[in-house]
Chains A and B, each alone.
Chain A
């Protein structure tokens, strides 16, 4: 059992170059009645172009806060987030966010097709026909081409989340941000959705940042796992997932490498010291 490259995130990244998203010295403090709560402090993270990065940590660790800062929905208290080198002050184009609460994120007064075409309509670059075609393509990619004329609330939870994914990819984003997207669906559906996202990633070549509390999921889906920890929160560990790129629910999850990795991630989440063999 080797220690491997978990020592310092910076050291690893500098070797590999281009960062799609660069988070530097990020801090976020919330003001309460009289009390300030510092959620994030001095957080450093680089998301590489084309990679699949998972962010894990305890509930309340600040995962969602971090994602919201990356997405431009919250201004950082200090530090900065850069997307393609540009400072993020509001939601940047090229970035699509998928919320955990699909029931409230999809608009119940629009049908599925309406929901998927709405962001395209605002972008204003396509004609109505092109928008419709793009939306139907996206719905086909998530397997819901038949549901276009239904209302979101007529669909099951898993299907609604797929509509949300279709809405995101119809915009052809460069980066997909996902905030615990599968937390509100049952385990079986979750497995299907995980594979769907992996397929989408392969098909569209997007960079994906996934926030999740599910350790198995983080290892299964990613190239790297960033573990948040400490108080206030920063990146405690950055773990490379050196598993074969072809992932499969049955085979991948029984690989010894998988089990090692998930153990390491779990330990890091629980803030236990990593196993050390003699020396090193």
Chain B
């Protein structure tokens, strides 16, 4: 076998092996309360999540993630483009934006609850508190740091404002904007779950807290597996999006894989 195919086999084979090992070892060992056998977890998974659980808990969580993320990304890119285009304003406001980005947003959840209640608005607000600044900062840095040759070319060809924005500024900034979007996605997921664990009556966060209260370990582990799947699915989705949007960038820099 070629070296490459050996590596490929390892890449897919080892995880499968690990899961199999987990299954058999957890069967064979004496029962541990906190780490139930994989077989039981699988049974709980099937019972819970396929398919009512999805409607009951996955959908509200995903809704929260999507809403908060959308507000952060759209608002962030818009504000970021404006800031990046006015360097003086960018320099002036930079410390404030950096401040909001660096603060641990979970600390704001109790305060937001008192301010906005416990509904979807609170969740969106908390996510925005975290993710908006990340997107703003990445966007404005990318726009402000645009390659001077690109800027000179658009000026010398007297490109119109809208054309410049759509065909030059945004595409040129997109690699870094996408980086910000990736971080913002992670932040959105984390904060939605925090908010749900804290105050919700539905959603994955709530499910896990509920399982904790009822000492339902198999249920909790099945929930963890579900979260893992969702996280993995979202990140693959994002990767797919990134590949499409930045295909030219990979081609330019000659990377075979990102």
Give the chain A neighbours of B152 by CB distance below 8 A: 68, 73, 97, 99, 105
Residues 91-105 of A, flagged 1 when their CB comes within 8 A of B and 0 if not, give: 101011101010011
Report the bound CA distance from A73 to B157 in whole Å: 11
A68, closest chain B residue (CB): B152
Contact B156 A108 (CB under 8 A): no
CB-based contact B159/A107 at 8 Å: no
Chain A residues, CB < 8 A from B160: 122, 124
Contact of B157 among A104, A118, A153 (CB under 8 A): A118
Q: Does A119 contact B (CB under 8 A)?
A: yes
Task: Decide if A30 is an interface residue (CB 8 Å cutoff).
Answer: no
Q: In whole angstroms, how far apart are the Cα atoms of A124 and B159 in the complex?
A: 10
Given A101-B149, A104-B147, A153-B251: A109 touches B171 (CB 8 Å cut-off): yes
Complex contact A121–B163 (CB within 8 A): yes
User: Which one of A71, A101, A104, A124 contacts B156 once the chains associate, using CB atoms below 8 Å?
Assistant: A71
* B168 in contact with A107 (CB, 8 Å): yes
**Cross-chain contact of A108 among B157, B158, B163, B252 (Cβ < 8 A):** B252
B22 at the interface (CB under 8 A from A): no
A3 adjacent to chain B (CB < 8 Å):
no
Report how far A97 CA is from B154 CA in the complex, Å. Answer: 10
Q: Which of A68, A104, A119 contacts B159 (CB 8 A)?
A: A119
CA–CA, A41 and B149, complex, Å: 25
Residue B153 at the chain A interface, CB threshold 8 Å: yes
Residues of A close to B167: CB separation below 8 A: 107, 110, 118
> Do A99 and B149 touch (CB < 8 A)?
yes
Interchain CA distance A173-B239 in the complex, whole Å? 43
Question: Which of chain A's residues 239-258 have a Cβ closer than 8 Å to chain B?
Answer: none
With A101-B149, A104-B149, A109-B248 given, is the CB distance from A96 to B155 under 8 Å?
no
B192 shortest CB reach to chain A, Å: 33
The reply to whether the CB of B59 lies closer than 8 angstroms to some CB of chain A is no
**How many interface contacts (CB-CB < 8 Å) are there between A and B?**
72
Residues of A in contact (CB 8 Å), total 29
B17 at the interface (CB under 8 A from A): no
A105 neighbours in B (Cβ, 8 Å): 149-150, 152-153
Interface residue from A93, A99, A153, A167 paired with B158 (Cβ < 8 Å): A93
Asked if B56 lies at the interface with its beta carbon under 8 angstroms from chain A, I say no
Determine the distance from Cα of A90 to Cα of B159 in the docked complex, in whole angstroms: 12
Contact B150 A104 (CB under 8 A): yes
* A122 and B155 within 8 A (CB): no
A123 an interface residue at 8 Å Cβ cutoff?
Answer: yes
Is A154 an interface residue, CB under 8 A from the partner?
A: yes
Chain B positions within 8 Å of A107 at CB level: 150, 153, 167-168, 171-172
Q: Are A73 and B156 in contact (CB under 8 A)?
A: yes
Evaluate contact between B251 and A154: CB separation under 8 angstroms.
yes
Q: Which of B147, B159, B172, B174 contacts A118 (CB 8 A)?
A: B159
Smallest Cβ-Cβ distance to B168: which chain A residue: A107
B249 interface residue, CB < 8 Å from A? yes
8 closest residue pairs by CB, A with B: A119-B157, A104-B149, A109-B171, A97-B156, A122-B159, A109-B248, A122-B160, A108-B252
Chain B: residues with CB nearer than 8 A to chain A? 147, 149-150, 152-153, 155-160, 163-164, 167-168, 171-172, 174, 248-249, 251-252
Given A97-B157, A105-B149, 6 more pairs with CB closer than 8 A: A104-B150, A108-B248, A119-B159, A122-B157, A122-B164, A154-B251
27 contacts between A and B (CB under 8 A): A68-B152, A71-B156, A72-B156, A73-B152, A91-B156, A91-B157, A91-B158, A93-B158, A95-B156, A97-B153, A97-B156, A99-B149, A101-B149, A105-B152, A107-B150, A107-B172, A108-B248, A108-B249, A109-B248, A110-B171, A118-B159, A119-B157, A119-B158, A119-B159, A151-B252, A167-B157, A171-B157
Mark A residues whose CB is within 8 Å of B: 68, 71-73, 90-91, 93, 95-97, 99, 101, 104-105, 107-110, 118-119, 121-124, 151, 153-154, 167, 171
